[in-house]
Amino acid sequence: MNINLLLLDVDGTLTIDRGNLALDPEAIRAIQRARGRVRIGLVTGNALIVAEALAKYIGLNDAPIIAENGCVVKAGSATVMLSTLSARDVTEELIKRLGLRPTYQYPCRYLDMTLDVNGDNYEVVEKIKNELIRMGVGDSYAVETSGYAIHVRPVECSKATAIKRLCELINVDCSTVAFIGDSDIDAEAFKVVGLGVAVGNATGRAREHAKLITRNPSGKGVAEFIELMLGEAH
């Protein structure tokens, strides 16, 4: 497969492990080797300002970025919001009703709001979904866990939708895109790219929808795939 664009999830994918925030040095070194040979972008649940800073620090200046789990797309000088609806007001009500806490990124976010719940806590996800139904807005917002936080976002936004929009903006055929991820949120996005890659420790849903699963976990899985892509595998 001819890969014209390599898209990378961040948390759980470029990190040492799922649930760990430390970047994996092997993944970063592999990205440095691939830079200039293939276009690389980030697809993350993080706030845009966090994703932009990360891209610069790992040497991906002017990289295309999808932030807030597909709510925000940045390509060149253009920043596009993929919904006119923000989850901020309903999330602030959820915080009051359920005693939840916002994440540290909360003030920097536009549409997708994050709650400080560690791990894939599906019980809390269901509790939030039920509360949104009681609030009369259950059809308007998606609720998912990334393993690092629980995300509440406008239902029309997703990483899959955002990848298709990004490809339109930068004139890349989605069939020539590879996307590497680890979580349930990444699973649907695997369906719209030419090659969906799950790292070795990805969730069951992500692994089910991936076309390729790396032997190694998280960042080491990213390095493994990049080596394969560049023909460096031993």
Arithmetic mean of pLDDT, 152-180: 98
Q: Where in the chain is the domain with CATH 3.40.50.1000?
A: 5-81+157-229
Quick one: angle between helices 88-98 and 122-134, nearest 10? 110
pLDDT of residue 97: 97
pLDDT of residue 21: 93
Active site residue 9: yes
Share of the chain above pLDDT 90, in %: 94
Catalytic residue among 9, 11, 112, 184: 9
Point out which residues pair with 143 in neighbouring strands. Answer: 152
Q: How confident is the model at residue 1 (pLDDT cuts 50, 70, 90)?
A: confident
Is 3.40.50.1000 the CATH number for 5-81+157-229?
yes
pLDDT of residue 126: 97
Strand order in the sheet with 5-8: 78-81, 72-75, 65-67, 39-43, 5-8, 177-181, 195-198, 212-213
Q: What global pTM score does this model have? A: 0.95
Measuring CA to CA, which residue among 168, 197, 227 is closest to residue 30? 227
Pair 154, 161: CB distance under 8 Å:
no
pLDDT of residue 232: 60
Query: Does residue 218 surpass a pLDDT of 50?
Result: yes
Q: So what CATH class is 88-154?
A: alpha beta
Q: Return mean pLDDT, the chain.
A: 96
Q: How confident is the model at residue 118 (pLDDT cuts 50, 70, 90)?
A: confident
Query: Does residue 122 surpass a pLDDT of 80?
Result: yes
Q: Where in the chain is the domain with CATH 3.90.1070.10?
A: 88-154
Arithmetic mean of pLDDT, 64-69: 98
Q: How confident is the model at residue 234 (pLDDT cuts 50, 70, 90)?
A: very low
Output the CA torsion sign for 125, 146, 106, 139: negative
In whole angstroms, what is the distance from residue 16 CA to residue 26 CA? 9
